[in-house]
């Protein structure tokens, strides 16, 4: 969504309401309506794109009763869409972001859905492949990506060379990156080949290009990276570029994983 060119209503501070009755944090209401993760919704608020009862709100502490008050984003009244959940097998060359100025294919384009404002939960970089979840459930997206909840992601990684036991131990202990220590919760050798090794790695964090960076730091270039599971949901035999709806049991298990 693009902010409108003109505003009919001036910015008026709205006093945060008491946390009682049907009042909820504004960013939570926006996320539940499928406008993105809570962090993305906070950016909508601070950018002055959200109104409550026709007054622009920029205070993140604001609470709102969505049943009694009118919430608008870019002048459009908020509505609660039917929640949708998909698993997608992202091929290399497809971007995870919802917007791409270069016009490259997006993960959300691989979902045959009429639901508006679907977005990917987390990211896989341009050349990484495998499982990525697509939804309009902002609350679940927040829980699955926030480091506080530490939902496990499992990867198959083909690296150049043959990592030693000492290297594998170092990956488990942690590798220093610019923004802090990154570590693999589990790492196992699945097979060794001439010039390359297949690893299976489990991480609970989400630093940018984390696996590629930590492996580069220990001297092993990533040749291919495929995510095969997010929490309890597995990629299985879903073909590259294909998508499927999550089952009721998978959705329930994901929500439980995001509450630990």
Q: In terms of Cα–Cα distance, which of 121, 122, 118, 116 is closest to 136?
A: 118
Which of helix, strand or coil describes residue 129? strand
DSSP 8-class letter at 88: E
* DSSP three-state, residue 155: strand
Give one DSSP letter per residue of 209-242, joined into a string: THHHHHHHHTT--EEEEEEEEETTEE-TTPPTT-
State the virtual CA torsion across 88, 94, 100, 102 in degrees, nearest 10: -160
Give me 151's structure tokens: 């939902």
Whether 12 and 56 have beta carbons less than 8 Å apart is answered as yes
Q: Give the start-end residues of each E strand in 78-152.
A: 85-90, 119-121, 129-135
The whole-angstrom separation of Cα 21 and Cα 30 is 18
Q: Are 170 and 218 in contact (CB under 8 A)?
A: yes
Nearest to 97, CA basis, from 108, 89, 88, 86: 108
Q: Tell me whether residue 65 is one of the annotated catalytic residues.
A: no
Find the catalytic residue in 53, 65, 109, 125: 125
Report, as residue numbers or ranges, the catalytic residues: 125
């Amino acid at each position: 969504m693009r902010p409108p060119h003109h505003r009919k209503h001036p910015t008026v501070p709205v006093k945060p309401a008491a946390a009682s009755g049907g009042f909820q944090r504004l960013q939570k209401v926006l996320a539940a309506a499928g406008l993105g993760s809570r962090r993305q919704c906070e950016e909508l608020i601070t950018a002055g794109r959200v109104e409550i009862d026709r007054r622009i709100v920029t205070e993140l502490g604001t609470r709102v009763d969505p049943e009694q008050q009118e919430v608008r984003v870019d002048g459009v009244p908020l509505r609660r869409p039917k929640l949708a959940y998909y698993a997608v097998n992202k091929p290399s060359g497809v971007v995870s972001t919802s917007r791409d100025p270069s016009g490259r294919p997006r993960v959300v384009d691989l979902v045959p859905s009429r639901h508006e404002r679907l977005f990917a939960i987390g990211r896989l970089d341009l050349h990484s492949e495998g499982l990525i979840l697509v939804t309009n459930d902002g609350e679940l997206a927040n829980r699955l990506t926030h480091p506080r909840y530490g939902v496990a992601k499992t990867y198959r990684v083909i690296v150049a060379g043959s990592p030693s036991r000492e290297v594998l131990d170092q990956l488990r202990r942690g590798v220093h990156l610019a923004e802090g220590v990154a570590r693999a919760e589990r790492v196992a050798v699945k097979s060794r080949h001439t010039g390359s090794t297949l690893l299976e790695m489990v991480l609970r964090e989400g630093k940018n290009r984390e696996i590629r960076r930590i492996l580069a730091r220990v001297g092993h270039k990533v040749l291919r990276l495929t995510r095969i599971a997010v929490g309890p949901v597995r990629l299985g035999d879903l073909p590259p570029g294909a998508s499927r709806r999550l089952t009721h049991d998978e959705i329930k298990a994901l929500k439980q994983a995001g509450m630990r």
